[in-house]
A and B are shown apart, each in its own frame.
Chain A
């Protein structure tokens, strides 16, 4: 009952904010922008062909097609959705079709948009901004933030189901952006990991609340720092009912064009904390332990001046409690070279090293649509 009241209260607060903010919009700049009664539509997205070989065991190919539909029927309304169609096992012609996101949005005023539906996880920046294969300069994603290998579980999901408010504003000479949202929240597994892709019905009638604020302190907008937070009940109504998950993330992005080429530095740190709990499928079944996990990456890209070649190096780190069975501490180094055929089409060749995993080599041909 308490959870239900909390959920209703949170949702009502958001809707109330929606109404109040919209009333202010009557006098904002955006209400003065004329609508030309023409729907604005585009299909963008990306497509990839991938080859990856690890430990001399031969390679495998996969292919993805991710159409993104962006639709702006009026000046204030918009709908954006992405499908992901993947061929994973060519022998079995086994693939998958998923709805990555489907977000309806209403522009409340110059600085705020209300949105609802399934949206890309706003924790940090990697998932929301850099994960498309033609934007991610490396052959793979950073471990545990994007990539799951050797049983390692991710510390954030692809998408969330819920609603929120987001936008941007200026403070002095700095530009800020923000995002606050309410979602169904994740689910905790018997092995003490968190199922972040729990986008079905809410498993515990208790919403999770999250947010991110980013600051671009300089007028040329080349540098951004971000801080994200997320908290919610992860346990089901019956099992692990008192287990809460708290996540915070820190991200940075710096891009600098110089006479010597273009430099790009990106990084993110995710820290995941589960309140004390006992889980049957751990090495110490039914004993309590500090279930705290973290993942981070730092990537430096360098594009030669007036060249189609770009070098990419990334170091990623994953730390997990010794008591769990879903992965071990890992440091992963990925290096590669990209060749840009056009502004949105790239050949990527890279090598992936890890302290407790075989070396892999990968090739990706990616195209933005």
Chain B
């Protein structure tokens, strides 16, 4: 029980540190573009990397990107609009 409390305390300290650092970093970021206004390229750059390395646009064909983006939408909880923006960016960069 003691170990668990200690572990939770460590996680708490780390989370606090992360929040502070993220808050500081967001102060210096581009504030003119809100999350919902971002384009496909920015959504791709910001979100894919949270779980895995970013795939290059030419990794898959256009039809494959449509199916894969749809799969990613289900896993990461994107809106349909956002995931369509990402798919359109990947397809346009593919040509």
* B-binding residues in A (CB < 8 A): 29-30, 33, 38-42, 44, 68, 70-72, 78, 80, 103, 105, 107, 109-111, 113, 115, 128-130, 134-135, 166-170, 173-179, 214, 216-225, 252-257, 262, 265, 267, 269, 294, 296, 298, 317, 319, 329, 331, 340, 343-344, 368
Q: Which of B1-52 contact A (CB under 8 A)?
A: 1, 3-4, 7-8, 10-11, 14-15, 18-19, 21-23, 25-26, 29, 31, 33-36, 38, 43, 46-47, 49-52
* A-binding residues in B (CB < 8 A): 1, 3-4, 7-8, 10-11, 14-15, 18-19, 21-23, 25-26, 29, 31, 33-36, 38, 43, 46-47, 49-56, 59-60, 63-64, 66-68, 70-71, 73-82, 84
Q: Which residues of A contact B7 (CB under 8 A)?
A: 296, 317
CB-based contact A70/B3 at 8 Å = no
A283 to B62 alpha-carbon distance, docked (Å): 59
A167 CB to closest chain B CB, in angstroms? 6
A340 to B54 alpha-carbon distance, docked (Å): 13
- Given the interface pairs A33-B84, A110-B81, A219-B29, the reply to whether A252 lies near B15 with Cβ below 8 Å is yes
Per a CB cutoff under 8 Å, which of B23, B43, B53, B66 touches A40?
A: B66
A340 to B25 alpha-carbon distance, docked (Å): 28
- Given the interface pairs A177-B76, A219-B29, A256-B25, the reply to whether A298 lies near B82 with Cβ below 8 Å is no
Q: Which 5 A-B pairs have the closest CB atoms?
A: A177-B77, A42-B64, A40-B66, A40-B67, A168-B77
Across the two chains, which residue of chain B brings its CB closest to A345? Answer: B53
CB-based contact B4/A317 at 8 Å = yes
CB-based contact A42/B35 at 8 Å = no
Interface residue SS majority, chain A: strand
CB-based contact A223/B66 at 8 Å = no
Per a CB cutoff under 8 Å, which of B50, B53, B79 touches A167?
A: B79
CB-based contact A167/B55 at 8 Å = no
- Given the interface pairs A110-B81, A175-B35, A219-B35, the reply to whether A71 lies near B53 with Cβ below 8 Å is no
CB-based contact A298/B67 at 8 Å = no
CB-based contact A255/B49 at 8 Å = yes
- Given the interface pairs A42-B60, A256-B25, the reply to whether A113 lies near B74 with Cβ below 8 Å is yes
A-B contact pairs, 8 of them (CB 8 A): A29-B81, A103-B74, A129-B51, A219-B34, A221-B46, A222-B25, A319-B4, A343-B59
Q: Which residues of B contact A256 (CB under 8 A)?
A: 21-22, 25
Across the two chains, which residue of chain B brings its CB closest to A329? Answer: B3
Q: Which residues of A contact B55 (CB under 8 A)?
A: 343-344
Q: Which residues of B contact A257 (CB under 8 A)?
A: 49
CB-based contact A254/B64 at 8 Å = no
Across the two chains, which residue of chain B brings its CB closest to A173? Answer: B34
Across the two chains, which residue of chain B brings its CB closest to A107? Answer: B80
Q: Which residues of B contact A179 (CB under 8 A)?
A: 77
A98 CB to closest chain B CB, in angstroms? 19
A338 to B87 alpha-carbon distance, docked (Å): 29
Query: Total A-B residue pairs with C-beta atoms closer than 8 Å?
Result: 159
Q: Which residues of B contact A39 (CB under 8 A)?
A: 63
CB-based contact B18/A70 at 8 Å = no
Across the two chains, which residue of chain B brings its CB closest to A250? Answer: B11
Across the two chains, which residue of chain B brings its CB closest to A76? Answer: B80
A319 to B6 alpha-carbon distance, docked (Å): 12
A265 to B43 alpha-carbon distance, docked (Å): 20
- Given the interface pairs A105-B74, A219-B34, the reply to whether A168 lies near B79 with Cβ below 8 Å is yes
Per a CB cutoff under 8 Å, which of B51, B53, B60, B77 touches A340?
A: B53
Can you name 12 extra interface pairs (CB under 8 A) apart from A80-B71, A269-B11?
Answer: A30-B81, A42-B63, A105-B74, A113-B74, A169-B79, A175-B36, A177-B76, A219-B33, A256-B25, A317-B3, A319-B3, A329-B3
Across the two chains, which residue of chain B brings its CB closest to A108? Answer: B80
CB-based contact A41/B64 at 8 Å = yes
Across the two chains, which residue of chain A brings its CB closest to B18? Answer: A254
CB-based contact A267/B26 at 8 Å = no
A269 CB to closest chain B CB, in angstroms? 7
CB-based contact A128/B79 at 8 Å = no
Per a CB cutoff under 8 Å, which of A220, A223, A267, A269 touches B29?
A: A220
CB-based contact A29/B34 at 8 Å = no
Q: Which residues of B contact A178 (CB under 8 A)?
A: 77
CB-based contact B51/A40 at 8 Å = no
